[in-house]
Protein backbone atom coordinates (compact mmCIF):
# COMPACT_ATOMS: atom_id res chain seq x y z
CA UNK A 1 0.00 0.00 0.00
CA UNK A 2 1.43 3.37 -1.04
CA UNK A 3 1.05 6.17 1.47
CA UNK A 4 -0.36 9.45 0.22
CA UNK A 5 1.23 11.35 3.11
CA UNK A 6 4.16 13.65 2.48
CA UNK A 7 7.15 13.22 4.85
CA UNK A 8 6.01 16.00 7.19
CA UNK A 9 2.48 14.57 7.46
CA UNK A 10 3.91 11.10 8.02
CA UNK A 11 6.09 12.47 10.85
CA UNK A 12 3.06 14.12 12.45
CA UNK A 13 1.10 10.88 12.24
CA UNK A 14 4.04 8.92 13.72
CA UNK A 15 4.40 11.42 16.57
CA UNK A 16 0.72 11.03 17.40
CA UNK A 17 1.07 7.23 17.38
CA UNK A 18 4.08 7.46 19.71
CA UNK A 19 2.19 9.66 22.15
CA UNK A 20 -0.68 7.17 22.28
CA UNK A 21 1.87 4.76 23.78
CA UNK A 22 2.52 7.25 26.64
CA UNK A 23 6.32 6.98 26.43
CA UNK A 24 8.91 7.91 28.99
CA UNK A 25 11.52 10.42 27.89
CA UNK A 26 15.21 9.96 28.63
CA UNK A 27 18.39 11.98 28.32
CA UNK A 28 21.91 11.54 29.61
CA UNK A 29 24.92 13.76 30.00
CA UNK A 30 28.25 12.04 29.50
CA UNK A 31 32.02 12.29 29.70
CA UNK A 32 32.19 12.76 25.94
CA UNK A 33 30.99 11.44 22.61
CA UNK A 34 33.46 8.63 21.95
CA UNK A 35 32.85 4.91 22.34
CA UNK A 36 34.07 4.92 25.96
CA UNK A 37 31.94 7.85 27.14
CA UNK A 38 30.25 7.31 30.50
CA UNK A 39 27.03 8.66 31.95
CA UNK A 40 27.47 11.45 34.49
CA UNK A 41 23.79 12.43 34.72
CA UNK A 42 20.56 10.77 33.68
CA UNK A 43 17.03 12.08 33.60
CA UNK A 44 13.77 10.28 32.95
CA UNK A 45 10.46 12.08 32.54
CA UNK A 46 7.03 10.50 32.28
CA UNK A 47 4.59 11.14 29.46
CA UNK A 48 2.81 13.85 31.46
CA UNK A 49 6.04 15.74 32.26
CA UNK A 50 6.51 14.30 35.76
CA UNK A 51 10.18 13.86 36.63
CA UNK A 52 10.68 10.17 37.44
CA UNK A 53 14.45 10.20 37.93
CA UNK A 54 17.12 12.87 38.00
CA UNK A 55 20.51 11.86 39.30
CA UNK A 56 24.19 12.47 38.90
CA UNK A 57 26.30 9.38 38.23
CA UNK A 58 29.90 8.87 39.37
CA UNK A 59 31.89 7.71 36.33
CA UNK A 60 34.81 5.30 36.57
CA UNK A 61 37.08 7.87 34.92
CA UNK A 62 37.37 11.66 35.40
CA UNK A 63 35.13 13.99 33.41
CA UNK A 64 37.22 15.78 30.77
CA UNK A 65 37.21 19.57 30.84
CA UNK A 66 35.70 19.63 27.33
CA UNK A 67 32.62 17.77 28.56
CA UNK A 68 32.33 19.94 31.68
CA UNK A 69 32.42 23.03 29.45
CA UNK A 70 29.23 21.78 27.73
CA UNK A 71 27.09 20.44 30.59
CA UNK A 72 28.81 22.13 33.57
CA UNK A 73 29.01 18.87 35.52
CA UNK A 74 32.43 18.56 37.08
CA UNK A 75 34.29 15.89 39.02
CA UNK A 76 33.48 17.52 42.38
CA UNK A 77 29.77 17.32 41.62
CA UNK A 78 29.88 13.58 40.96
CA UNK A 79 32.41 12.64 43.65
CA UNK A 80 29.70 11.51 46.09
CA UNK A 81 27.21 10.30 43.46
CA UNK A 82 26.35 6.62 43.09
CA UNK A 83 28.08 4.58 40.40
CA UNK A 84 26.11 3.24 37.43
CA UNK A 85 25.66 -0.36 38.72
CA UNK A 86 23.68 0.93 41.71
CA UNK A 87 21.56 3.29 39.58
CA UNK A 88 20.77 0.88 36.73
CA UNK A 89 18.11 -1.16 38.60
CA UNK A 90 16.04 2.00 39.15
CA UNK A 91 16.53 3.13 35.56
CA UNK A 92 15.67 -0.33 34.23
CA UNK A 93 12.47 -0.49 36.27
CA UNK A 94 11.33 2.85 34.82
CA UNK A 95 12.16 2.21 31.18
CA UNK A 96 11.96 -1.50 30.49
CA UNK A 97 8.21 -1.89 30.17
CA UNK A 98 7.77 1.39 28.26
CA UNK A 99 8.48 3.00 24.94
CA UNK A 100 11.44 5.33 25.45
CA UNK A 101 11.66 8.58 23.50
CA UNK A 102 14.98 10.38 23.31
CA UNK A 103 16.57 13.03 21.15
CA UNK A 104 19.37 11.06 19.41
CA UNK A 105 18.15 7.74 20.79
CA UNK A 106 20.95 5.79 19.10
CA UNK A 107 23.49 7.64 21.24
CA UNK A 108 21.58 7.15 24.50
CA UNK A 109 21.06 3.46 23.69
CA UNK A 110 24.79 3.01 23.07
CA UNK A 111 25.67 4.87 26.27
CA UNK A 112 23.28 2.74 28.33
CA UNK A 113 24.74 -0.42 26.85
CA UNK A 114 28.35 0.67 27.35
CA UNK A 115 27.63 1.75 30.92
CA UNK A 116 26.60 -1.80 31.75
CA UNK A 117 29.34 -3.63 29.89
CA UNK A 118 32.13 -1.49 31.36
CA UNK A 119 31.14 -2.83 34.79
CA UNK A 120 30.93 -6.40 33.56
CA UNK A 121 27.13 -6.41 33.64
CA UNK A 122 25.38 -8.14 30.77
CA UNK A 123 23.03 -6.31 28.43
CA UNK A 124 19.90 -8.45 28.32
CA UNK A 125 17.12 -6.02 27.56
CA UNK A 126 15.51 -5.13 24.27
CA UNK A 127 14.55 -1.52 24.76
CA UNK A 128 11.91 0.06 22.56
CA UNK A 129 13.51 3.39 21.76
CA UNK A 130 12.09 6.11 19.53
CA UNK A 131 14.39 8.79 18.15
CA UNK A 132 12.82 12.23 18.30
CA UNK A 133 15.80 13.69 16.38
CA UNK A 134 15.15 11.42 13.38
CA UNK A 135 11.42 12.11 13.53
CA UNK A 136 12.08 15.86 13.70
CA UNK A 137 14.40 15.54 10.68
CA UNK A 138 11.55 13.95 8.72
CA UNK A 139 9.17 16.64 10.01
CA UNK A 140 11.48 19.41 8.76
CA UNK A 141 12.13 17.46 5.53
CA UNK A 142 15.43 19.10 4.60
CA UNK A 143 17.14 16.54 2.38
CA UNK A 144 20.85 15.85 2.91
CA UNK A 145 21.95 14.49 -0.48
CA UNK A 146 25.43 13.67 0.81
CA UNK A 147 24.03 11.26 3.43
CA UNK A 148 20.94 10.28 1.43
CA UNK A 149 18.54 11.05 4.27
CA UNK A 150 16.89 13.98 6.00
CA UNK A 151 19.22 16.43 7.69
CA UNK A 152 19.50 16.09 11.46
CA UNK A 153 19.07 19.17 13.59
CA UNK A 154 20.42 19.81 17.06
CA UNK A 155 17.98 20.00 19.94
CA UNK A 156 18.70 23.73 20.10
CA UNK A 157 17.85 24.14 16.40
CA UNK A 158 14.61 22.23 16.95
CA UNK A 159 13.77 24.39 19.98
CA UNK A 160 14.27 27.61 18.05
CA UNK A 161 12.41 26.41 14.96
CA UNK A 162 9.44 25.22 17.00
CA UNK A 163 9.39 28.43 19.05
CA UNK A 164 9.68 26.53 22.33
CA UNK A 165 10.57 28.45 25.47
CA UNK A 166 12.39 25.73 27.39
CA UNK A 167 16.17 26.16 27.19
CA UNK A 168 18.58 23.63 25.73
CA UNK A 169 20.58 23.56 28.96
CA UNK A 170 22.71 20.45 28.30
CA UNK A 171 21.44 19.00 31.56
CA UNK A 172 19.52 15.74 31.58
CA UNK A 173 16.11 16.85 32.88
CA UNK A 174 16.02 20.16 31.01
CA UNK A 175 16.92 18.45 27.74
CA UNK A 176 14.49 15.60 28.39
CA UNK A 177 11.65 18.06 28.92
CA UNK A 178 12.68 19.95 25.78
CA UNK A 179 12.78 16.76 23.69
CA UNK A 180 9.31 15.93 25.05
CA UNK A 181 8.07 19.35 23.96
CA UNK A 182 9.52 18.83 20.46
CA UNK A 183 7.62 15.54 20.13
CA UNK A 184 4.38 17.16 21.32
CA UNK A 185 4.98 20.07 18.91
CA UNK A 186 5.29 17.66 15.98
CA UNK A 187 2.16 15.75 17.04
CA UNK A 188 0.12 18.93 17.45
CA UNK A 189 1.13 20.33 14.05
CA UNK A 190 -1.14 20.22 11.05
Strand partners, 100: 24, 129
Asked if residue 114 is part of any domain, the answer here is yes
Asked if residue 190 is part of any domain, the answer here is no
> Domain limits at 17?
7-185
pLDDT tens for the 190 residues of the chain, in order: 445 789 999 999 999 999 999 999 999 999 998 888 999 999 999 999 999 999 999 999 999 999 999 999 999 999 999 999 999 999 999 999 899 999 999 999 999 999 999 998 877 778 999 999 999 999 999 999 999 999 999 999 999 999 999 877 889 999 999 999 999 999 999 9
Report yes or no: 140 and 7 within 8 Å, Cβ to Cβ. no
**Angstrom distance (rounded) from CA 97 to CA 46:** 13
Asked if residue 106 is part of any domain, the answer here is yes
Asked if residue 66 is part of any domain, the answer here is yes
Residue 35 is predicted with a pLDDT of: 86
Report yes or no: 171 and 45 within 8 Å, Cβ to Cβ. no
Asked if residue 139 is part of any domain, the answer here is yes
CATH number at residue 107: 3.30.420.10
pTM of the model: 0.94
Asked if residue 2 is part of any domain, the answer here is no
Task: Name the domain count of the chain.
Answer: 1
Residue 2 is predicted with a pLDDT of: 46
**Angstrom distance (rounded) from CA 41 to CA 81:** 10
Q: Which of 11, 25, 20 is nearest to 95 (CA)?
A: 25
Amino acid sequence: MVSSLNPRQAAIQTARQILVQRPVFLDSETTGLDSTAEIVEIGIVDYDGTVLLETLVRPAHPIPNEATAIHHIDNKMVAEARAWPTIWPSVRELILPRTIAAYNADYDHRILQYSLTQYGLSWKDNLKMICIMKLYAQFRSVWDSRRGTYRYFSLEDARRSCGLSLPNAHRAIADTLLARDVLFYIAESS
